[in-house]
Amino acid sequence: MQKDYDEVTVNVVNQLFENLFSVCKAWKVALGDEQAVGDCKRQWLSAFKENNVTNIERIKKGMVKLRARKMPFLPSPGEFIALCRLDPVDVGAPSIEDAYKEAVKNAYPDGSEKRWSHPCVRHAYLRSGAFDMRTEPKTKTYPLFEKNYLGSLEDYAEGKIHEQISHKKPESQGKYGPVTGFGGHEWVKPGIMKQYECIRTHEDCMDVISNMQSINPQLKSLVRSLAPNP
């Protein structure tokens, strides 16, 4: 292994397997000799690389969960990687099912401002697409949202999601008053786009434009013109 991987990585894996052997007492059933152990370690290293498992603290959390399960046999690399993944509770976020329900609810404009229980829910919602969240069946949107939510949890844990969810009052206070102030455009006027008259925030507006863009490619130039300057 020393020829294929750096010394730090080798030391981490060797220590991990010492811990695995101490927890999984029946490890010799699958690994009977030194060569088998070496082959197994290389498989685990490859699995870690393919799944981007590089965080030492995450591996330690995986061991904590493994000890709690009291498994006598060695887990497969995939089973251990699943233990290393963040649970929503690890970062104070709602469960995947609750987060999905929250995202679907916010996908339907109802005239009120959108409220989010956690930044990860909002990020997964934006990645999944509001239009699909409210028009496609759960069998299609749930797996996509779950994937995006787990990715958002990883980003949040690594400090890549910094912004806080604000609860500012909508700019438009009238029942059907226009939402203005975004690039000087009035997005909603009485009698126009009635299906969207309940829109109250800029985020809602951009959801609508993004959805329309997929239907009318000419709107791409409009979307680009509204994008913030880098």
Let me know whether 115 and 60 are in one domain: no
Structurally, the chain folds into a number of domains equal to 3
Angle between helices 138-157 and 96-106 (to 10 degrees): 110
Let me know whether 172 and 118 are in one domain: no
CA distance 44 to 36: 12
Please, what's the b/e burial string for 2-17 (b: 16 or more CB within 10 A of its CB; e: otherwise)? eeebeeebbebbeebb
Bigger pLDDT: 64 vs 215: 64
User: Per residue in 111-126, pLDDT tens?
Assistant: 778 889 999 999 999 9
User: Per residue in 5-52, pLDDT tens?
Assistant: 667 777 888 889 999 999 998 888 878 788 899 899 989 988 888 887
Is residue 31 within 8 A of residue 37, CB to CB? The reply is: yes
Candidates 140, 98, 142, 94; CA nearest to 119 is 94
**Token match 């993004």: residue?**
210
Q: Which of 111, 133, 157 is the last residue of a domain?
A: 157
* pTM tops 0.75: no
Report the pLDDT value the prediction gives residue 54, as an integer from 0 to 100.
76
- The answer as to whether 2 is a domain residue is no
Helices (H), the chain: 7-23, 34-50, 56-69, 77-84, 96-106, 119-128, 130-135, 138-157, 202-215, 219-226
Let me know whether 80 and 106 are in one domain: no
Let me know whether 74 and 100 are in one domain: no
Q: Which of 43, 61, 85 is the last residue of a domain?
A: 85
Report the pLDDT value the prediction gives residue 124, as an integer from 0 to 100.
93
Let me know whether 46 and 76 are in one domain: yes
Per the structure, the complete domain to which residue 216 belongs is given by: 168-230
User: Mean per-residue pLDDT for 201-222?
Assistant: 57
- The answer as to whether 210 is a domain residue is yes
Which residues share a beta bridge with 185?
182
Q: Which of 104, 128, 157 is the last residue of a domain?
A: 157
Let me know whether 220 and 196 are in one domain: yes
Report the pLDDT value the prediction gives residue 111, as an integer from 0 to 100.
72
Q: Which of 51-60, 179-188, 195-204 has the lowest mean pLDDT?
A: 179-188
Read off the DSSP letter of residue 72: S
Let me know whether 193 and 152 are in one domain: no
- The answer as to whether 1 is a domain residue is no
- The answer as to whether 206 is a domain residue is yes
- The answer as to whether 122 is a domain residue is yes
- The answer as to whether 75 is a domain residue is yes
Is residue 144 within 8 A of residue 161, CB to CB? The reply is: no
